[in-house]
Structure 1
């Protein structure tokens, strides 16, 4: 009996079977619309602008600054409207730290001080499902402080969103090591407040989603931003993308990344 022939026969059958399985998974991914999520940062200080932001349709995610004058009111309204809410945690930056506001986390804190402030911020804001960083281009570089952060986040079963305010952030890496569901920002929509710029960035957001299956944008409650988003969301079906809350986006991106990793690690007989 030609055992080599039999072995090769089953080898090619196995490869064919796995290829079909991957094709089915790929087809399922293609069939589903790409996901986008939009986080509006810096809420809690300007009620008029914040209320306009809250009036946007769909599962927009809102990030509220701790101990801001209207933090609890904004959180209450967002929660009643079934929106997902993040604590917009101030963290030390390379510059402009006078803009951090109350409840900031800094490098000179002891672990005890760091934990006390973070827990106080968390407990001050109801209905949150996770945290994203406000500023933080310096603090997010430091693995030790990010480990303190993720240890606390994991105890609350929160998610973490890395706003990527600097190029050397290790927050995502430390979150992954600590089992914290996380995602990093893909694009800022309004780093320039000009209407044309914001519309261009929304177009880029859609293209990123179509290219990689998911895309996360961060923006602010500026009048031009809210107007641009309102117009975009009215016609979102024309863009062939689906707006989801941040938790759904993390779930989809994690699932896709896991599938890619499994495929890369396959060893054929």
Structure 2
């Protein structure tokens, strides 16, 4: 009987691997169309895109060894699948800065975690907005390679640890229930191991956790996670770099497929009208296929599965 079960399991894994390979080669590459882009040359060079929110260096069309080859299968296979039959999804909506956006999130039958901009002279009421939501994060501006927003002064490469501490401590004071922070922009800062070590050290001192939005193909959090044997959660997919309901729905379907393969996924979206429309139209399908969780719930789940290094799911497209 045991031999039969093993044989059936191997057959299922083989079929799933074929399906996944088809998905990987037919998926749509995340790419905003609302801003100038450098086209893909012969389908192999990296695609660079300037999102309204992030300066994002998107993944190349072929896997990189830094995030794939060095990861063991132990981190991708769930240790105790009896905990829940549904894959987990942490769905973060970035760029939240007003009460209207919170109301739109709350109108959806989905557990969506708003990531709210820190308090600034341009957004003085964001702490009040946070109070309207049971779960929230802070969307922390970090320095990008080629993108600036005057109203959102980022923490820059080379900022001293003391100054970083002062900035984050003020945010913690403005948002006393804060536990998790993800980066807004940051393609330059998050590549710097020295600066990321300072930032994470400050987070540790203040009882905060970092979720990497992954706006560069070479995030220093990868190396730090391995070196320190600490779990640093990472974005798997952007849902709406292309602002259209059709694209967002396609990305949501892809997210479901990838979550079913891996068991968990982190998706990031933005408060676009098309995004809200896509989420509403697919809410039944999403709730049926996935379990929506908070950052803390996902972290607890990964811990229960003995996952100590976040395995980020890559999204590729055909080279055309």
Task: Quickly say closer, same or farther: Cα 1:27–1:96, change in 2 above 3 A.
Answer: closer
Distance 1:195 1:179, change over 3 A: same
| Counterpart among 128, 137, 148 of residue 97 in structure 1 | 148
Rate the CA distance shift 1:53–1:232 in 2: closer, same or farther, 3 A.
Answer: same
Aligned to 2:189: 139
1:28 is aligned to 82
1:74 equivalent among 126, 129, 134: 129
Q: Deviation of residue 153 (structure 1)?
A: 1.1
Residues matched between the structures, number: 231
Q: 1:55 maps to what in 2?
A: 107
CA distance in 2, matches of 1:253, 1:172: 17
Structure 1 outlier segments of 4+, above 4 Å: 22-27, 175-181
Distance 2:109 2:124 in 1: 25
| TM superposition shift of 1:144 | 1.1
CA distance in 2, matches of 1:259, 1:190: 29
TM-score, L = length of structure 1: 0.76
> In structure 1, what is the Cα distance between the partners aligned to 2:212 and 2:85?
26
The aligned runs of 1:56-205 (5 Å cut-off) are 56-67=108-119, 68-79=123-134, 84-98=135-149, 101-102=152-153, 104-174=154-224, 177=227, 181-205=231-255
Shift in Å, 1:193 = 0.6
* 1:181 shift after superposition: 4.5
Q: 1:248 aligns with which of 297, 310, 316?
A: 297
Computed over aligned residues only, the root mean square deviation of the Cα atoms, in angstroms, reads 2.7
The change in CA–CA distance for 1:98 and 1:248 in structure 2 (over 3 A counts) is: same
Cα pair distance change 1:259/1:52, threshold 3 Å: closer
Change (3 A) 1:75 1:259: closer
Q: Deviations over 1:58-116 (max 9, x none)?
A: 4321111111233122201013xxxx2111110000011235704x2101422222221
TM-score, structure 2 normalization: 0.65
Q: What CA distance in whole angstroms lies between the structure 2 residues aligned with 1:53 and 1:203? A: 20
Query: Contact conserved, 2:187 with 2:216, CA < 8 A, in 1?
Result: yes
Q: Which moved more, 1:228-237 or 1:204-213?
A: 228-237
CA distance in 1, matches of 2:167, 2:78: 48
Greater relative contact order (CA < 8 Å, ≥ 6 in sequence): 2
Residue among 261, 266, 283 paired with 1:216: 266
- Tell me the distance in 2 between the aligned counterparts of 1:110 and 1:26: 43
- Contact residue 141 and residue 169 of structure 1 kept, 8 A: yes
